[in-house]
Amino acid sequence: MAANKFVAKVASDLRKPDGLVVVRPGTEADFLAPLPVSRLWGVGRVTAEGLEAMGVTTIGQLAAVPVAYLEARFGSSGRGLHDLARGLDDRAVEPFAPPKSMGAEETFGHDHRDVERLAATLRGQAERVARELREGGYATRCVTLKLRFADFSTLTRRHTDDPTQDGLVIYQRARALLDRIPLRLAVRLIGLSASGLGPAEAGQLSLLGPDPTRRERLARAMDRVTARYGEDSLRPASVLRGRRRPRPPEDPGSPLPST
């Protein structure tokens, strides 16, 4: 607990995972003084080395350096470092900022061009993202497909349409994007994300889907099942079809199958 975000974050790091540190107003500089400068936001390896070359290794030592000298040495970030070293941070606390996007990715063990497997992976990702949208009370207008190929090049394609939180609709939009991409190289990673989020209207998953109210009831029933029994308790059949089962080893002593 502290009077500003920075000091509260430093205090919380000192007593992880469940301890409590209280920094009373007016004592921020004394609290920070003995800590290493690496505790400051914006102090990475390069900045820490620059400060160490100046003989500054603790936050208290940094607070004693004239701000003009820090600005000359580190540019515009010098004043910010000086303020933090003295426990000053006037940024507003925004604990409930709405998310800008929701997504899912999967990196395959082996690069491949198996479109059926790619589509099945997308189907599962679409359901996962749709479930998160419903839990948060959001609908998405923009669906983005991400592919990373064997040479580590990355490609993204977007589709914007009516708001939805329906996993099937999200999958169909992503699959349409996938079908338009020639797979000249094997795929290493595939991902799907939903952005352009807004509040979802009750009883309406998609303006264009068949019987939206019925589909919403089904989706929320599935949400209750997965919340109780786990994410793998319910999956679309297409997801299972995309996962190839290994063939059992043949027994050389077994008779040949009849024809």
Q: What is the pLDDT of residue 13?
A: 81
Between 167-179 and 115-136, two packed helices, what is the crossing angle to 10 degrees? Answer: 140
Class (C level, CATH) for 5-85: mainly alpha
Domain spanning 101-241: CATH 3.20.20.60? no
Q: What is the pLDDT of residue 77?
A: 83
pLDDT tens for the chain, 259 residues long, are: 889 988 988 888 887 666 788 899 999 999 999 999 988 887 888 888 889 999 999 999 999 999 998 988 888 788 989 999 999 988 887 777 778 899 999 999 999 999 999 999 999 999 999 999 999 999 999 999 999 999 999 999 999 998 999 999 999 999 999 999 999 999 999 999 999 998 876 444 444 445 555 666 666 666 666 666 665 555 555 555 555 444 444 444 444 444 3
Residue ranges with strand state E in 150-216: 154-164, 187-195, 198-199
Residue from 242, 246, 237, 134 nearest 194 by CA: 134
Asked if omega into 17 is within 30° of 0 (cis), the reply is yes
Q: What is the pLDDT of residue 153?
A: 94
| Domain coordinates in residue numbering, the chain | 5-85, 101-241
> CB atoms < 10 A from the CB of 120, how many?
21
The Cα-based distances of 156 to 3, 180, 199 in angstroms read 43, 12, 25
What is the C-alpha to C-alpha distance for residues 145 and 122, in angstroms, rounded to an integer? Answer: 9
Residue type, 165: Q
Q: What is the pLDDT of residue 47?
A: 85
Pairing of strands 198-199, 101-112: unpaired
> CB neighbours of 86 closer than 8 A, spacing ≥ 6?
28, 29, 32, 63
